[in-house]
Structure 1
Amino acid sequence: MVYRMVYVSAATAPLDADALLALLTRAREKNQRLGISGLLLYRDGDFIQLLEGEREAVRGLFHTIERDPRHTRTLVLLEGEAEQRLFPDWSMGFRNLSDPAVRATPGFSHLMNTPSWPTAFQHDPDGCLALLALFQPPV
């Protein structure tokens, strides 16, 4: 079993490509050290992130993220035990949902095109997981 958490948040300031790369580099190093895998989706200042690993590690990392002054409006969409990781080989996968190629992905949710897309999943955790699963690496 693995502990899984999906949350959304908003950046307090816009992130350009260099800022996103720096954030990902630090996140990947930390996640690897903590045994956490997952995926980060970003669009226009909004994040949706899946973290998976040992319960204490995931919750501890989330509390660090929640206190990070670069985030605001943090909201947990789902959390709990799962039988296996969705992203076992990714310390932190990443997709920028503003990329037209990503938006053309079959199954890309229409909810992602709404201005309040992160909170649209608040009442649809299955849809949230289905969206994240679209970005699983091929087996």
Structure 2
Amino acid sequence: MRGTGAKLCLTPVPYSSPLDRGLSMHQLVYTSVARPELTSADLFQIIERSARNNPSCDITGFLFVRDGTFLQYVEGPLMALDDLLGRLEKDPRHHSIRVVHRAPAQVRAFPNWRMKRLSNSDDALRELETAWQGQSAGLPSAVRTFLAERRAA
């Protein structure tokens, strides 16, 4: 979600193991508050740019927006997620970033979602659960709680 459209992916420094290089698979979930002046066109641009840029960073995931609040789930190499989080913290289109889940992952939960926008409908949780089927761990509780709270609002 960077206003300039620029993207950066860190090039791993050659260390002795994938863990040392930050190449191990991780999950990151954060929430943030959209600036009041954020438009639908801005949101479309965020999704479009993310979907275009994420493959080169090996990041997949989804973005859920409702009532001015973002929840984003991303998965990929640890270094790429750290780099992304650093860029997100500088993005003027939102504020109050709060990481609510961060964990290593054995496999990708959403390998085909370069950046999927989830709607505000009641089907969002079912769509996530369907995509998550077969994973050893359940959908992160932070995601489940966020969607349940938004559905109840």
Scaled by the length of structure 2, the TM-score of the pair is 0.65
- Which of 43, 63, 72 is the equivalent residue of 1:49? 72
Q: Distance in 1 between matches of 2:126 and 2:114?
A: 24
CA contact (8 A) 2:25 2:106 kept: yes
Structure 1 pair 129–86 and aligned structure 2 pair: CA distance change class (3 A): farther
Q: What does residue 142 of structure 2 align with?
A: 128
Q: What does residue 61 of structure 1 align with?
A: 84
Q: Distance in 2 between matches of 1:41 and 1:73?
A: 16
Q: What does residue 119 of structure 1 align with?
A: none
Q: What does residue 83 of structure 1 align with?
A: 106
Report the AA paired with residue 43 of structure 1: R
Alpha-carbon distance, 1:71 to partner: 1.4
Root mean square deviation, CA, Å: 2.6
Q: How many residues align?
A: 113
- Which of 7, 26, 29 is the equivalent residue of 2:52? 29
Structure 1 pair 14–127 and aligned structure 2 pair: CA distance change class (3 A): farther
Alpha-carbon distance, 1:29 to partner: 1.4
SS of structure 1 residue aligned to 2:85: helix
Q: Distance in 2 between matches of 1:55 and 1:2?
A: 6
Percentage of matched positions with identical amino acids: 29
Gap runs ≥5 in structure 2: 1-23, 128-138, 147-153
CA contact (8 A) 1:14 1:44 kept: no
Q: Distance in 1 between matches of 2:64 and 2:101?
A: 16
Alpha-carbon distance, 1:106 to partner: 6.6
Gap runs ≥5 in structure 1: 109-124, 133-139
Q: Distance in 2 between matches of 1:24 and 1:106?
A: 19
SS of structure 2 residue aligned to 1:62: helix
Report the AA paired with residue 118 of structure 2: R
Which of these two proteins has the greater Rg computed from alpha carbons?
A: 2
Alpha-carbon distance, 1:64 to partner: 0.2
Range 36-45 or range 21-30, more displaced = 21-30
Scaled by the length of structure 1, the TM-score of the pair is 0.71
Q: What does residue 103 of structure 1 align with?
A: 122
